[in-house]
Chain A
Amino acid sequence: DSGVTQTPKHLITATGQRVTLRCSPRSGDLSVYWYQQSLDQGLQFLIQYYNGEERAKGNILERFSAQQFPDLHSELNLSSLELGDSALYFCASSVGGGLSDTQYFGPGTRLTVL
């Protein structure tokens, strides 16, 4: 158990809908990262927040957005969902904001778009 929690574990929805994925980092960690893992693209970095502020951006679509709240939990919002958005979404956390800080991954949310 990494100490990072993600909810829900599974999510099934329809095209065009909007969903919110939630992540609670390990106690004491200030950074949260979001990743998408799909069969064809592998593990792709989406976005990083550090202490409430956006720190780095990866291959995140404009239909997707994220935020980190004062209590350091984070939410990833996915809107206008398409079939291709079906994937595993992982959250990771680290103590600091540097990329050489060890990232601890949560168990993931499996999103299925029908």
Chain B
Amino acid sequence: GESVGLHLPTLSVQEGDNSIINCAYSNSASDYFIWYKQESGKGPQFIIDIRSNMDKRQGQRVTVLLNKTVKHLSLQIAATQPGDSAVYFCAERRDDKIIFGKGTRLHILP
């Protein structure tokens, strides 16, 4: 497969457990946040988004939490499956651009 980044933080999770992937952002003026999933050899895929006027948003098996006080974003994946193995990126809207974080590699243990 392709490497999408050197020295990416890696999170190893047992299959069936919940995964929590964290992201810190720097600009308090950012008003919109997105999580993307990138599987090996593929382009990023939208998972879920959240606006800054919300603290929490739920999707199918995924929840995004936003803590504006500490400028922290997290993605929770329930009942992690082998197909969840990928690199996960958070992104923020800042100055009319989408800025991506470096990514976290999620590794699923059998």
The interface of chain A, by Cβ under 8 A from chain B, is 2, 4, 37, 39-40, 42-45, 56, 58, 88, 90, 92, 99-100, 102-108, 110
Contacts and interface: CB of A to CB of B under 8 A. Distances in A.
Contacts, number: 57
A2 B45 contact: yes
A2 B49 contact: no
Given A102-B46, A105-B43, A42 B5 contact: yes
26 contacts: A2-B43, A37-B4, A39-B5, A39-B6, A42-B101, A42-B103, A43-B100, A45-B97, A45-B99, A56-B96, A58-B97, A88-B4, A90-B44, A92-B43, A92-B44, A99-B96, A99-B98, A100-B32, A100-B93, A103-B46, A103-B98, A105-B45, A107-B41, A108-B42, A108-B43, A110-B2
Nearest to B46: A102
- Give the size category of B's interface with A: 20 to 34
B44 to A, nearest CB: 5
Chain B binding site: helix, strand, loop or mixed by DSSP?
A: loop
